[in-house]
Amino acid sequence: MSKTLVTGAAGFLGSHMVRRLLAEGRQVVGIDNLSTGKADNLRSVGLGGSFVFIGCDVTDPGIITLPELEGVTNIYHLASPASPKFYQAFPFDTIEVNTTGTKHMLELARRSGAELVYSSTSEAYGDPLVHPQDEKYRGNVNTWGPRACYDEAKRLGEVYCYEYFHRYHVPVKVARIFNTYSAGLRNDDGRVISNFVTQAIAGDDLTVYGDGSQTRSFCYVDDTISGLRLLMDKEAANGQIVNIGNPVEHTILHVAETVIRLSGTSSAIRYMPLPEDDPKVRRPVIAKAEALLGWRPEISLEEGLRRTISAYRERMQGGMRS
C-alpha cells in the first residue's frame, strides 16, 4: 500500500493536504516541529488510524532513517515558515528547512524510490519585472533584504531538486505556489487574508500596507491542494517547475474593501507603511498547469472569502484566536 509523507503537517497547507489524502483512503505520515504549525490543526485532521504524526525537525539528519518512514512512496515537502512575519523572525530556520531539509527529503526519496513535490513559491520571482509570471521568468530577487532568507532559500531548494532529478533521477516536481488562503491560517499568521478577516470580525481597523495598490492573486486552499495532488500523480511533471495559483489579480485595497463588505463589519481602513521589498504585482501564468495537469482554480475570491469569514467567525466566537 502507498504511504505518503507530508512535512509541515501541522501547518496551513500541510493539514489541508493530510485531510485530503486521508479522505482518499491513503496511509499518511505527518512530520512537523510545531514552530509555526498548530497542534489544533492536527487534532482537526484526526490522529490515529491511517494518520501517524511524528514531532521532529526535517533538518535533523536522523530523519532519513526513521523507521516510520520506511516504505514511503510519496513526499509532499511543505515544511517552512511561509508568512513574512514568521520567516523574517526566524531567517536561519527558514534557510535551513528549505535547503538542508529539502536535501534530506530528496535523499529519503532517492533511497525509498519515492516521488516528491517541493513547495516552492511565487517569491522565487521576487518583485517581478515581467508581468504576469510564467515559469521561464528568472525573477528579480534582492539578496540583501528582509525577504531574501525565504526567497533565496526556496530558490536553492529548487536547485537541490534539479540536481536530484538530473543526477539520481528522483521523480521530483516543483510547485511554485501563489498566495493561498482559507480557514486554517492562524489568526496571528500575519498574512493579509488572515489579518483582514481577523480584524473585520473583531471590529478593528483593517491594516493596509502602503496605498493598497500592490496586487496579489489569491487561490483558495481547496484549489491549491487539488493542483498539488495532480502534480504528484503526473509522470510527465517529473523534473518540472509548475505555477500553482489563481490567475485573477486584485489590489490589496480591493481585498480589504471586499472583506469589509462581506463581513458586514463597521471597521475602517488604516494605512500603514509598506514593508521593504514588498512585491508590487504578482499574477501567475497557469498555461503549463492547465496543459500538463488539466487544472485550473474554480473558487472565486468572493466565494473563498465568504467561506473563510464564516469559519473564522465560528472559531473566534468559540474563543479561539490562534
Residues near ligand UDP (CB under 6 A): 84, 179, 191-192, 195, 207-209, 214, 216, 252, 275, 278
Binding test (CB under 6 A) with ligand NAD, winner from 5, 58, 293, 305: 58
Q: Which three cell numbers stand for residue 184?
A: 486554517
In the complex, minimum distance from the CB of residue 178 to ligand NAD, in angstroms, rounded to a whole number: 6
Residue 284 contact partner, candidates ligand UDP, ligand NAD, none, CB within 5 to 8 A by sort of partner: none
Is residue 13 near ligand NAD by the rule CB under 6 A?
Answer: yes
Task: For residues 252 and 258, give the distance between their C-alpha atoms in angstroms, rounded to a whole number.
Answer: 10
Asked if 36 touches ligand NAD (CB under 6 A), the answer is yes
Q: Which range binds ligand NAD by CB under 6 A, 56-64, 124-132, 165-173, 228-236?
A: 56-64
C-alpha 179 chain-centroid distance: 7
Work out which of 4, 5, 8, 174 binds ligand NAD, going by CB under 6 A: 8
Q: Report angle CA 14, 20, 24 to the nearest 5 degrees.
A: 140
One character per residue 79-98, x = contact with ligand NAD (rule: CB under 6 A):
xxxx--------------x-
* Catalytic (active site) residue 125: no
Q: 31 or 192, CB closer to ligand UDP?
A: 192
- The least distance separating ligand UDP from the CB of residue 272, rounded to whole angstroms, comes to 7
Q: Which is nearer to ligand UDP, 118 or 164 (CB)?
A: 118
Among the candidate windows 55-63, 260-268, 271-279, 286-294, which touches ligand NAD by CB under 6 A?
Answer: 55-63
CB 43 within 8 A of CB 17: no
Nearer to ligand UDP, 106 or 252 (CB): 252
Distance, CA of 60 to chain centre? 22
Residue with smaller CB distance to ligand NAD, 199 or 246? 246
182 vs 265, beta carbon nearer ligand NAD: 182
The partner in contact with residue 242, picked from ligand UDP, ligand NAD, none with C-beta cut-offs of 5 to 8 angstroms by kind, is: none
- Return the residues of window 145-204 that contact ligand NAD according to CB under 6 A: 177, 179-180
Q: Which is nearer to ligand UDP, 19 or 216 (CB)?
A: 216
Number of C-alpha atoms within 13 angstroms, CB side, residue 37? 28
Catalytic residue among 76, 118, 150, 164: 150
CA distance 99 to 148: 13
Min dist. Cβ of residue 7 to ligand NAD (A):
6
Q: Give CA torsion, residues 153, 15, 226, 164, to 10 deg.
A: 40
Find the binding residues for ligand NAD in span 117-156 (CB under 6 A): 119, 121
Residue ranges in 206-235 that form contacts with ligand NAD under rule CB under 6 A: none
Contact set with ligand NAD (CB under 6 A)? 7-8, 10-14, 31-37, 57-59, 78-82, 97, 101, 119, 121, 177, 179-180
User: What residues are annotated to the active site?
Assistant: 150
